[in-house]
Amino acid sequence: MALPASAVRAFEPPPQPERGAPACTTCPRRHSRVEAELAASRLGSVAAPVRAGPPRGVSHGFNSRPLLEKPRKASSSLAGAACAPLFALLSRGRRRRMHVLRRRWDLGSLCRALLTRGLAALGHSLKHVLGAIFSKIFGPLASVGNMDEKSNKLLLALVMLFLFAVIVLQYVCPGTECQLLRLQAFSSPVPDPYRSEDESSARFVPRYNFTRSDLLRKVDFDIKGDDLIVFLHIQKTGGTTFGRHLVRNIQLEQPCECRVGQKKCTCHRPGKRETWLFSRFSTGWSCGLHADWTELTSCVPSVVDGKRDSRLRPSRWRIFHILDAASKDKRGSPNTNAGANSPSSTKAWNTSKSRKNFHYITILRDPVSRYLSEWRHVQRGATWKASLHVCDGRPPTSEELPSCYTGDDWSGCPLKEFMDCPYNLANNRQVRMLSDLTLVGCYNLSVMPEKQRNKVLLESAKSNLKHMAFFGLTEFQRKTQYLFEKTFNMNFISPFTQYNTTRASSVEINEEIQKRIEGLNFLDMELYSYAKDLFLQRYQFMRQKDHQEARRKRQEQRRFLKGRLLQTHFLSQGQGQSQNLNQNQSQNPNPNANQNLTQKLTQNLVQNLTQSSSQKENRESPKQNPGKEENDSTGNGTNDYIGSVEKWR
């Protein structure tokens, strides 16, 4: 069967154009399509085949070959032979997309080839460079190694032995305990967690002489009884953080109940509906906003007696009534000397009045930092207008305590304006809030000269601070935690954190402004120096006492173990001798001599044990001798080696 003429022309290779023939000026794609249609219509005519690609002189694009420019081989398939007329029949947009795809494929291949050859050249050059360097450095060593092959074998054996030891160690001790032990062996000793937070030496030179009773603070706090902790919160001293520790961070039999979204917590005694803590976060501002020492000592006993449920806050007129009645009772009391205003006498008066023991605590801060922090707080809009400042049963008048600003608040005030106000309560705030203001006529400055008034206030603040159950310093958080735990025998769950970066530390002041702030707070500067000296002396005293107690317990434990060992040795020796004496009774003229000696030694040892036990029982009953101090000496012969027999068993 004969094929059509169009099919025969499709299978034939396209003829090459003659040299010197003029180039086609029409569009190559349109010309190819027209010629193909004419060839298909004229079956019997001999049509000159037209190239499917563009003519000479027309660009094919970057790195692309002309389509069907070369003649097909005789071994081409039917589909390959029919590619040219089929490509010519495609639309212009389809052919353009095919050219773009081919161009992209050629560019990717070129980039991959260039990258491969470049990397190969770079690796080759690097190999030559490293080879030259190693030949220069290890050339002599290589020559020596070739001379002595036994040393190489020995080194390889040592390396293999080390790897085997590491594998065995990891198999025997796979956990982290061995790793921690190895790290501790090569690391420095653990630093003291109670070392000074300001990176200074833990030891200091005391400036004041305090007695043992001033340094030893040991409160027998009975949370199930009638004891009450009263927290005197001075502004911008870190009292908010410490107050949260008191209600959220203490290990108690019945912890405080703190609900989400509420500032106050319910701190009841175990089995009772009475509070053991009088603070902002337990009872609220029951005696006024940031009540000072004068207000608290007059208000707390009456509030506690008249308010059994600590969740109910008395009204403002109720607070005035309580303070007025307390001041009248205080003025009518027969004890009107200056010593009656000390915390010890006030505690006795409160105990006889309400039959409760009130333990006052507070936190102090460096005066310059506290002053700057209060200025920043006032600058943000704080006023403390709700503070009562009640003294001697009445609040101060506007003439006695003028205001430093005229508007609703003092927000945005500069530091110079804050320091220029002579009635600013930020000046010497810590001394004023810790002293007994009734000694100087409260806020009436005309009662006595200013110099005498300052002296009385400072001495009163020092006395009250020294007789308080506890006080801490903001700059020594860990020491504050330690002393509180030792004073009240109450442990915190998590340790305190020392924040060295505060709003006050971000304020940059020059030396002149700092000296002026110190001059405005000269009473606070003197009080803080006194408080810091007393605080650090108490800390060192308690630490030394703990070390002595730990050393005494270790000595008692060693003596107890030594006594048990001697007792066991004597008993075994006595039993052996008694058996030997029973066997050789006929040969020994005095058979009971050794046995009597052993029995005497055993009896003396048992007698010493009994005496030591009785001495321990006497030491464990301090309530029978409350005024007697403990003796830390451990040298009473063998009578003290038992110490804590039941405890160490």
> Would you give the distance in Å from CA 512 to the centre of its chain?
35
Measured distance CA(439)–CA(34) in Å, rounded? 122
Query: Which of 275, 314, 298 has its CA nearest to residue 350?
Result: 298
How many alpha carbons fall within 13 Å on the CB side of residue 306? 17
Measured distance CA(237)–CA(371) in Å, rounded? 10
Name the residue with tokens 């050794």.
Answer: 594
> Would you give the distance in Å from CA 145 to the centre of its chain?
56
Measured distance CA(7)–CA(83) in Å, rounded? 13
At what angle are helices 316-332 and 293-306 packed, to 10 degrees? 110
Q: Which helix (H) or strand (E) holds 332?
A: helix 316-332
Please enumerate in sequence order all residues whose Cβ is within 8 A of that of 315, keeping only pairs 6 or more positions apart, or say none.
none
Measured distance CA(421)–CA(405) in Å, rounded? 9
Measured distance CA(227)–CA(217) in Å, rounded? 16
Q: Are 361 and 232 in contact (CB under 8 A)?
A: yes
Q: Are 612 and 640 in contact (CB under 8 A)?
A: yes
277-278 and 357-364 beta bridge pairing: unpaired
DSSP code of 298? H
Q: Report angle CA 342, 348, 349 to the nearest 5 degrees.
A: 85
Query: Which of 84, 95, 91, 77 has its CA nearest to residue 10?
Result: 84
Measured distance CA(24)–CA(362) in Å, rounded? 106
Measured distance CA(159)–CA(164) in Å, rounded? 9
Q: Which residues are catalytically annotated?
A: 290
Q: Are 532 and 430 in contact (CB under 8 A)?
A: no
Measured distance CA(572)–CA(575) in Å, rounded? 5
Q: Are 257 and 266 in contact (CB under 8 A)?
A: yes
Measured distance CA(493)–CA(485) in Å, rounded? 11
Measured distance CA(31)–CA(53) in Å, rounded? 11
CB atoms within 10 A of CB 75: 6
Measured distance CA(6)–CA(337) in Å, rounded? 137
Measured distance CA(509)–CA(579) in Å, rounded? 90
CA distances from 484 to 242, 390, 454, 613 (A): 11, 30, 30, 32
Measured distance CA(269)–CA(336) in Å, rounded? 35
At what angle are helices 293-306 and 343-354 packed, to 10 degrees? 10
Question: Residue 420 corresponds to which tokens in the numbers above?
Answer: 């220029």
DSSP code of 3? P
Please enumerate in sequence order all residues whose Cβ is within 8 A of that of 242, keeping only pairs 6 or more positions apart, or say none.
231, 363, 472, 480
